[in-house]
Structure formats: structure tokens, C-alpha cells
Amino acid sequence: MTFLHDLARWFWKLLPANPILVRVVSAGGKRKRHLAVRTAYLGILFVFLVLSQTIGEPGTPSLAALAKHSSRVFMQVSFVQLALMCLIAPVFTAGAITQEKDSNTFNILLSTPLSDGQIVLGTLLSRLYFVWMLLLSGLPIFCITMIYGGVTMPEVFESFGLAATTAFITGSLAIAISMMKVGTQRTIFSFFLGIALYLLVVGALARAPVTWIAEAKVGTTLNVKMSWLAPFHPFLSLLVVTGQTPAPSYAEVQHYTWPWPWLLSSPHYAYMLATTLGSIALIIGSHFNVRRTASQSDSSLVQRVLARFTHAPIGEVRRKPRRVWNNPIAWREAATRGSAAGRSRLRWAFLVVAVAAAFGLLIAFETGWQSWSTTQIRAALTALVWIELAIILLVVTNTAASTLTRERDAGTIDLLLATPLTSKYIGAGMLRGLVSFVIPLIAAPTLTVALFFVADALRAASGRIPPGEAAAVAAAGANAVPSRWVTTPEAVVLTPLLIVAFAAAAAMIGLSRSLNSKKTTQAVMTATGLVLMASVVLWGCVMAIIPAGSEIAAIFVPFSPFPSLHALIDYQSACGAASGSPGEALRARTLRAFMSLISAGVYAGIVAAMYNHLVRGFDMTIRRQSA
């Protein structure tokens, strides 16, 4: 009985009575910004639910049609929820990489009576608590989709399980990075971009027929089969839960070597188990690294490993002199490891992956591998560019939001203010440096669009029709006219111009929140929420304007980030000009191009106004926070 009493007491102190967890749980729910985040999260889910409910089949629906419609609504809202979790969970957990280390409070934490397990689990669960409560608050919205049938309670809880375990693995990874003491403010950039690259690369590979399971059935909506990668990707597992890519039965795949029969027949459960076991492994590894790495220097893990083989002193300067720009702040943020993103090589990895994905789409289109028509390849190209734009906005926002908080936490803001540099000079340098830093990222959608434009020009010169388009024309009838152009020439020029404008606006939002927030997590969370809210509101306004006519839509579409890129690639679909006359389509296209230039100028004006506001309140805000 004594052993059981001691075990229960140890577990009580480890989790329920963990001081770190108790402090966050007791105080976190009372903060106004948490209320604002919960309201925004539930508002987005509810808006998507209402929009999905209003888009249905005409006529009086039967009970079967209502059940089918409810199932489709559930699928759409589930994908929105998982996407929000993939965005929100890294925002809340990324602070674990930097907060204690950059605030120089980690050693103080180690001097307390807290055990290693209490430190690791308290830090992890205190960050996951808000994410999981946010997820749980959306349960009533999902219950609405069950009213007309078509959605079962197990499907709802399976979608919630995928979202919860995704947040769990994200938080465990952030804690593992912080406990290995390789995490600094600049590691946040690699953390975000690494997660985005994984989701993008694995999701793209799952579209290739070579990764499809032969025993699986083709989905009725997406016309694809379940991939072997489904047990290792949250969105692919969610496709199985919602019935878009049906999983084969256990009997159909039992001839494979264990554990593949179970992994393939239940990929969603396999994903939840794999992420849970992976999170536990990361937690155990973090437990053993708490005090061991605390006694080591602030050098990176790579430096310590290389020092064992080269016997070179850690921290020895062996780099050539570098040429500093006219604005040293801009040079520091764009080209040195002292920036918030640390000159991460993942920028170039992102560029390589994006160009490889564009090549894959082009090859599949030109060879007829996927039998895609021009309309279908435009939709795939638009989706790829949207993903790249979302990653760019996310990275630049989070990097900008940690710029000034990093200086404040490291105590270098006072040194910066002691120099002859003015607030105007500092603000301009940070903005220029942040935009320069994401130039390799902006090059990804630019090269993607340019690659398809070159292929379009060569195809038009040779008079060749891709196999998928030829099949679509033959199916449409003798009067159908083949479309030889996937994108437009002006998209090559206007795509980088608009993305630079959008990235600059996102950077200014991040810098503004970084100036007015005391903690990195708070700045990152509020800046990301503002950018997300602005994108959703502008997108909703554009969707409401499109029915007014293609020419009216062409005027307003360029002012919304995601629809503007859609309009550059496929102006007929984005502006509602697909069913109009050729003259109307040409006018819409011309208006769209002209208004894209106007949009870039308007965003430049917004950035200038936000910059002037930042400069006017810079000194006063810094002094107030230092008091």
C-alpha cells in the first residue's frame, strides 16, 4: 500500500498538481486575448458551416439528399478544423523553443525543486491545454452536422482525434527542440517551415498513382485512391474518415507483411497511434536532456558534434569578412544568423520542393499521366500557388512578430537604442530585411507560374494539344474548342509584385505586434490571427462581389491575397467570366491586370501608413515597456 500511495502521490505532483500547468490553467482562461482567439476560431468554423449549408442542390431535397449534403458539410468543416489546428498548434507551442532560453530563466527553473518530468510535462501541457480546449469548444458545431444523418458520432470523434494528436506531436517536437538547447528565436522559422514542407511534400506525393494502394477503391469525389502515406499524414487520414478515399478492408490487405494490414485498413487510427507514440518518445528524450544540456554552452548541436571530430574550439570565428549593406539592420535581418529566422537553409529547400512539385504537375499534364484537362490543371496549379502563398505569409508574419521581442528578451534592444540609429532607420531596416529574407520563398510561386507559361508558349508554337485536354474536347463534342494556355503572360510579372505587397503588409502587422507585445508567443499569436482574419474577411467580400458580374469582380478580386493569384492564373473562373462572351472575358482580364497594379500600390500605401505609425510610437512604447 505504501508503494501505491507513493506512486499516486508522484503522479499527482507530475500532472494534476504540476505547478507550471496549474499556473497556466488557472490564469490562462481569464485573459482577454484567449477569449478573442476562441471567438475567432469558433466564428470561422461557424461561418464555414453556414456557407456549406447554404450551398446545396436545388429543389426539395429528400432525406437521402439531406444526409449526403450533411456528410459533405461535415467533410468541409473537418478540413477547416484540421487546417486551423495545423496553424494554431505551432503558434502556441513554438514559444517553448525560445521563451525560457532567451529570457535567461531556464537555469532559474532548474534551481527549483521541480523534477525533470515536471518541467517537461508542465511546459508541454501548459501549451497544449489551450489548444485542446479550443478544439473541444468546437464540438457543438460538429454536432449540428449530425441532425440530418450522414454523419456518425465515431466520425466526429475520429476527426477530433486527428486534430488533437497533430497538436500533440507538434508540441512534443517543440519541447524536444527547446530541451536539446538548439532552439533559439531563429529556430521558430525552421520549425514552421519544416512542418509546412512535410505536409506539402507528403500530400503531393500522395497524388501520384504510384503511391496508391491497388486494393483501395477510387473515391467518388476526388477520383483518387488511398495512398500508402495516409497513416503518416493528417489530411490524408481525414480523407479516409470522411470517405473521400475509402480504405481497403483488413481481408483485402492481409497478405502484406505486418503491420501493414492494420495500417492500411485503419490509417486514421494508425496515424493517431504513431503520433502519440512519437510524442511519448520525444517527451522521454526531452526528460533526459533537461539538465545535461543545461551545463553545456550555447553552441548548436551540429557545432558540438563537429567539435568531437575536428577538435576545433567551439565558437571560434572562421568566417571571411562580409560586406554590410547601407542599412545594417536590413542586412542583419536578411543575411545573418542574428536575425529572427537565422538565415535558415530551409528557404532554399522550400524553393526546390516547390519547383519540383511544379515540374511534376507539368509532366503529368503534358504526358497525360493523370488525364488532366486544362481546367483541371489550372485548379491544381492554383492550389499549389495558394499553399506557397500561405506558407510565405505564415513565415513572414511569425518571423516579424518575433523580431523585436527577441531583442527585448535577449537584452539587446538597449544596445540598439544606444547607437545613432533612429527609430525610422530601425523600422525601415527591419521591414526591408524581412522582405529580402523571404525573396527565395517568393521565387517559388513565381517560378511555378513562369514554368507553366514557358510550356504554354512552346505548346502554342508547336500547335500540340495535351492528351488530357484532347480527351476532354472529344468528350465535350465536335464544337468544343481546346484551350492551349494554362496561365496568362501577365501572371509571370504580377505574381511576384502582389506577393511582395502582401508579404510586406504581413511583415508590418508582425512588427507592430512585436513592438506592442511583451512575449514572443503573444506577438506571434495575435499577428497570425490578424493576418488570418484579414485574409478570410477579404476572401468573403470577394466571394460576395463575384455574382455582380465579371467586370465588377475583376475590379475587387486583386485586393484579396488568395483570389488575386487565382485570377492571375484563371481569370475566367475567378472573376465569373467563364460563361460570358469573348469580349467580356477580355475586358475582365484587362481590368484584372490593371487593378492588380492598383492593388500593389494600395498595399504599399498601407505598409507606409503602418510604418509611419510604428515609427511615431516606437520610442514611447519601448520606454513604457522598459519602465
Region of residue 480 (phi > 0: left; psi between -120 and 50: alpha; otherwise: beta): beta
pLDDT of residue 504: 92
Q: Which residues neighbour 114 within 8 Å (Cβ) at sequence distance 6 or greater?
A: 19, 20, 122
| pLDDT band, residue 605 (cuts 50/70/90) | very high
Reply yes or no on whether the pLDDT at 383 is more than 50: yes
- Residue for grid cell 490571427: 529
| Residue 496: pLDDT band with limits 50, 70, 90 | very high
**pLDDT of res. 356:** 87
Supply the mean pLDDT for the chain. 79
pLDDT exceeds cutoff 90 at 29:
no
Report the SS3 class of residue 265. helix
Give the pLDDT score at 580.
56
Task: Give the integer Cα–Cα distance in Å for 224 and 246.
Answer: 10
Predicted pLDDT at 407: 74
166 pLDDT above the threshold of 90: yes
- Using 50, 70 and 90 to split pLDDT, how confident is the model at 232? very high
Percent of the chain surpassing pLDDT 90: 13
Tell me the mean pLDDT in the region 265-274.
93
pLDDT at 603: 95
Q: What pLDDT score does 471 carry?
A: 66
Q: Which of 54-63, 295-304, 468-477, 536-545 has the lowest mean pLDDT?
A: 295-304
* Domain range annotation of the chain: 20-289, 332-626
The pTM of this model reads: 0.73
Instruction: Choose from 104-108, 393-397, 469-473, 480-484 the range with maximum mean pLDDT.
Output: 393-397
CA 397 to chain centre: 11
How many CB atoms are located within 10 Å of the residue 249 CB?
Answer: 13
60-63 long-range contacts, CB within 8 A, separation 24+: 63/148, 63/149
> Using alpha carbons only, what angle is made at residue 113 by residues 124 and 188, rounded to the nearest 5 degrees?
30
Name the phi and psi angles at 579, rounded to 5: -95, 0
- pLDDT, position 340: 52
What average pLDDT does range 441-450 have in this prediction?
Answer: 92
Task: Please tell me the predicted confidence (pLDDT) of residue 439.
Answer: 87
- Chain CA centroid to CA 84, Å: 9
What is the reported pLDDT for 277? 94
Helix residue spans in 247-345 (DSSP H): 250-253, 260-265, 267-289, 301-310, 328-335
| CA-to-CA separations, 64 to 55, 69, 258, 588, in angstroms, rounded | 16, 9, 39, 40
Q: Which of 106-115, 254-263, 451-460, 480-489 has the lowest mean pLDDT?
A: 480-489
Q: Is the pLDDT of residue 342 over 60?
A: no
The pLDDT assigned to 271 comes to 94
- Per DSSP, the three-state class of 227 is strand
- In total, the chain counts a number of residues equal to 627
> Based on the number of CB atoms within 10 Å of its own CB, is 258 exposed (0-12), middle (13-18) or buried (19 or more)?
exposed
Q: What is the pLDDT of residues 174-219, one digit of tens each?
A: 888 877 755 555 566 667 777 877 887 788 778 777 788 888 888 7
> Please, what sign has the CA dihedral across residues 494, 496, 499, 504?
negative
16 vs 345: which has the higher pLDDT: 16
Work out the pLDDT band at 359, boundaries 50, 70, 90: confident
Per residue in 528-577, pLDDT (tens digit) is 888 888 888 888 788 878 777 777 888 888 999 998 998 888 877 777 65
pLDDT of residue 297: 47
Least confident among 136-140, 344-348, 386-390:
344-348
Q: Per mean pLDDT, which of 27-31, 254-258, 298-302 is the most reliable?
A: 254-258
Q: What is the pLDDT of residue 279?
A: 92
- Is the pLDDT at 381 greater than 90? The verdict is no
Q: Tell me: the pLDDT tens digits for 87-103?
A: 788 777 766 666 666 56
